Amino acid sequence: MNLLIFLGCEKLQEKLHMTQHPGINPPPFNTIISDIIDNNIILNESYCYPRGGGQQGDTGTIRKNDLQTELLETMPGESIIHPVVSTQGFEIGDEVVCTINHERRNKNTTMHTVQHIVSAIANDMFLAETVGNQISEEYTRIDLLFPDRDKFNSEDLQQAVNDIIKSNKDVKIHKWDRERILNHEQMRHTKFMDRIPNTVTELRVVEIMDVDLCPCGGTHVDNTSNLYEMNITNVKSKGAGKLRISYSLNNH
């Protein structure tokens, strides 16, 4: 889950990753440099996903005519921060083309959608609550808090998750107000919402049909047919009632 779920921002920068769905194969986009701070470029609008909510930020390139610089991991802020290897030759007001690394984005996107499924099924099967997660291209880990962790069975969880992955479930993005989110009987993971300013009246909600419904600003596929089977690679105790589940996907 991802706390970067604001749908608006006081800055003028458009955060287009919030509306682009599915979150795989993002297109190159033209934009204008609005600011340069050290080796960080600020763009008028951006499709880049900034690190947050356990998901890595995008990487890629920023190009102006024949001049190109490597885009390092994008970072969050009131405006998305685009760190680059060098800003030499780039100026405020320049029109540029930003290209996102598809392989990295697609792996993070599929990992994130599978994380929602794992968290939802663990909650349904074992009443486990997801209390932390870290998503990467090669593996993902999820910290689960159980009322009785002795009931946990990794093979059962893996099988149930892979059954969902094979079931061609649609993944939808909604824009809902706080009241609807907090009063929805099927909504998961709302405890953090008191940390979001009351001035933010609408939030982004991700729905995996018949499986999961929760506020999230991460990137996701639009159907589980775009996912790969998962393999639980490690289960580690993290204290009383808590287990850390690590998994990989069959495309890695």
| Phi-psi region at 60: left, alpha or beta (left = phi > 0; alpha = psi -120 to 50) | left
Superfamily of domain 105-249: Threonyl-trna Synthetase; Chain A, domain 2 (3.30.980.10)
Q: Could you tell me the pTM of the whole model? A: 0.92
Omega of the bond leading into 22 within 30 degrees of 0 (cis): yes
pLDDT by residue (tens digit) across 78-122?
899 999 999 999 999 999 999 999 999 999 999 999 999 999 999
Residue 166's pLDDT is: 97
Q: Is the pLDDT of residue 216 over 80?
A: yes
- Could you give the residue range(s) of every CATH 3.30.980.10 domain in the chain? 105-249
- Could you give the residue range(s) of every CATH 2.40.30.130 domain in the chain? 14-101
Fold of domain 14-101 = Elongation Factor Tu (Ef-tu); domain 3 (2.40.30)
Residue 199 CB-half CA count within 13 A: 3
What is the Cα–Cα distance from 83 to 88, expressed in whole angstroms?
A: 13
What is the Cα–Cα distance from 247 to 199, expressed in whole angstroms?
A: 37
Q: Is 183 helix (H, G, I), strand (E, B) or coil?
A: helix
Task: Determine the Cα angle at 123 with ends 108 and 243, to 5°.
Answer: 75
Q: Is the pLDDT of residue 4 over 70?
A: no
Closest listed residue to residue 113, CA positions, set 5, 214, 233, 28: 214
As given in the structure block, the two tokens for residue 153 are 């069975």
What is the Cα–Cα distance from 129 to 133, expressed in whole angstroms?
A: 11
Distances (CA, A) of 140 to 18, 73, 115, 116: 22, 18, 8, 11
pLDDT by residue (tens digit) across 119-143?
999 999 999 999 999 999 999 999 9
